[in-house]
A and B are shown apart, each in its own frame.
Chain A
């Protein structure tokens, strides 16, 4: 939003959690911000990219998270506050670099923001970056509400400079994609005379003037642990660790992140404010032992509430065991004791249920008679809504052709894929064509392996799909591996002109960068062509042509063949709300159930813009939903679907 870079200290705005994080970075005077798009993190970098020029910043959508971390680290080494933003998977991607960076340390403040997705709303895993903070031996901060998202990100830069190392801030979907009122702090002056430089000619062990090298490892590992110890001391008095409740409660809840708000809600709904104390930790690694001791001493009953794995729970129990001679043995409730699930997202209801059992209090979410009625109504009143490609999506057309070509080939071929909208190719909307789905770039990687199994008698056709942004992120490595080893694979790049799933962020294939500047675009076809392999380019909306090309490529069993299917996403700025065609169904021609096509268009093709009219017993275009792409014309064997150029 435009006011994100306004210098209006003290004013309150309703901010998306990710905007609050961006504002915190701006208040900290961040100079270099990098990242790779991924839900639920993308709006942080988008907010910063809009104000980059005005605030004299460098903002980059890097090709992957490891690169993003490396670019951000260069900023820190050159005396510029820097930040690196990603979803949980990104920390895995960059972890190799981070393991070294933690040892060399940083100079100007460097903060890594990991936005995680408990419950996997927009992910195909719910892995946790929190584990990495332990493995890397760096501090972990977890804001517990919207104001803290801003305030703690700002503070993270100070902490990083105090200990001269990377600091990780963790958000989750419910904070990043929630909104709350945030009171703005002061923005620093825009510094146009920055004197950046990398001093590296001093004594090798000098943290300010030496080289950034992790050898001798023993020395630097010891220094890293000293830094962590310093962070732990700072955390003892950190104002982001708060206690609310009576002095000696019957039960102490220890929580962090979005769970803080669920606990607050559950305590209020049960009306147990006089029985339960709430310790909200903002600094969850390393835990400050004195603060923990003081709070554990309040009661013998401790309930730990966190997402997703019991990580904080384990760390608290270690401290409690060490302190037992002083504070006594505690009863623990939490994930290990089975009060809360160890997979999936938490919510106020799960916390409420656990708390009600622990405290033996009564609570009814809805009256029993209402619940019965609600269940009966839900059974028929709200049909399930399966995910689907959008109307006008090029992926539906691409998978239609891929599915058709594999059927024609007849060798029980399959598709390996990865993350992106096209991952929905596992569902009926993509004709259930994708049969192996893993990390970014894994489609071509796994396919590269399948394509080498001919010697063991495997004769199935092997197809890999990957998006244009994914091609640069990690797909290109798999492609090089497959080409070098002459793996028999048909590799399809579904090029929809941007990082579509997360909101059209630019990638190296485009001629614009995050800040809107013109940059050289890299041509995927030319890159593939330079490998000496066959490369075809097609339009996914040309169903006949695409199927013919694909059939030929799949049956050509020599090495890697590439097909680039180019069509912009239906939601892209170029295509959104612009119909190419006005569609209609000639009801005189559509015979409905009597046609013999078995309702191919609605039963199989399943575009949301093409619906079944239960009264007339024919197909019908829903004009509020149809995107006017015209593809369905070629689906109908009776030629009942008609298009005319849109005005």
Chain B
């Protein structure tokens, strides 16, 4: 397996969201797809108690040469994939830099502090503005809303993966996705995941040609 050159060595991706959104699964899918292309992958996860409504982050390092720290140093992310929009902003503020890019879901999950009226949740317009302030390129897609139309909000993570593949930053192939899903999930989940993956790429194209 020959490696295509990476945009950066190592290429640092942070996938973020809220416990229960399938953050960990998304990092495994992405990591396994890239492993099939011959890259050396290191993933750092925080799960456990943090799943209970807390912020979740997966740090993914893609390298043609070696394994790296499972934690990405501050200011060193190249790509942020946010399953929840304010979590994306939180990651940008800690791991961003003037070149960082972000692909974000639009669907808000309100922290309990917001539900209780103790904290303010920013409007989607404010979130978009913050993202543009901190990132060089920004894409927003309605992944969860689309997943709800497929009758399963957790498919939002597959839609996001499809969208990221559509950005063509890394060699992410649909056939690898198919193989990885078959390795990791019961066979009856394949079709709906393939559908969600394709939807993601389509939505991304619309976002690129639209106003994002």
Which residues in A have some Cβ–Cβ distance to B below 8 Å?
A: 1-3, 12-14, 39-40, 121-122, 145-146, 173-175, 177-181, 258, 261-262, 264-266, 269, 347-349, 352, 364-367, 370, 373-375, 377-378, 380-390, 421, 424, 428-429, 501, 577, 599, 602-604, 606, 608, 610-612, 622-625
Contact = CB atoms under 8 A, between A and B. Distances in A.
Contacts of A348: 69, 71-73
Contacts of A145: 67
Interface string B37-49: 0001111111111
A602 B117 contact: yes
Contacts of B208: none
Nearest to A179: B43
B157 to A, nearest CB: 13
Contacts of A258: 69-70
A266 B49 CA distance: 29
Interface of B: 18-20, 27-28, 31-32, 35, 40-50, 52-55, 67-76, 86-87, 89-90, 92-94, 96-98, 107, 109-117, 119-122, 126-127, 130, 133-134, 144, 148, 152-153, 183-184
A610 B97 contact: no
A383 B121 contact: yes
Given A366-B74, A608-B53, A625-B109, A383 B119 contact: yes
Contact of B54 (A177, A261, A385): A385
A364 to B, nearest CB: 8
Given A377-B133, A623-B148, 4 more contacts: A14-B43, A381-B127, A382-B87, A383-B121
A264 B61 CA distance: 14
Contacts of A262: 69, 71
A210 B87 CA distance: 61
Contacts of A622: 109-110
Contacts of A382: 86-87, 89-90, 93
Nearest to A371: B75
A578 to B, nearest CB: 13
B92 A374 contact: yes
A122 B40 contact: no
Given A181-B67, A390-B20, A606 B115 contact: yes
A501 B19 CA distance: 13
A378 B48 contact: no
Nearest to B91: A382
A606 B112 contact: yes
27 contacts: A39-B47, A122-B48, A174-B71, A181-B41, A261-B70, A265-B69, A269-B76, A349-B74, A365-B75, A365-B76, A370-B97, A373-B133, A373-B134, A377-B133, A381-B89, A381-B127, A381-B130, A383-B86, A384-B111, A385-B54, A386-B112, A387-B53, A389-B52, A390-B19, A611-B114, A623-B148, A625-B109
Contacts, number: 220
A265 B73 contact: yes
Contact of A178 (B40, B45, B55): B45
A266 B76 CA distance: 12
A269 B52 CA distance: 34
A122 B45 CA distance: 12
Contacts of B32: 14
A537 B192 CA distance: 42
Contacts of B98: 367, 370
Contacts of A599: 117
B43 A178 contact: yes
Contact of B120 (A174, A378, A383, A387): A383
A546 B54 CA distance: 29
Contact of B43 (A12, A121, A180, A390): A180
A87 to B, nearest CB: 10
A610 B114 CA distance: 11
Given A181-B40, A348-B73, A352-B73, A428 B116 contact: yes
B89 A349 contact: no
A261 B87 contact: no
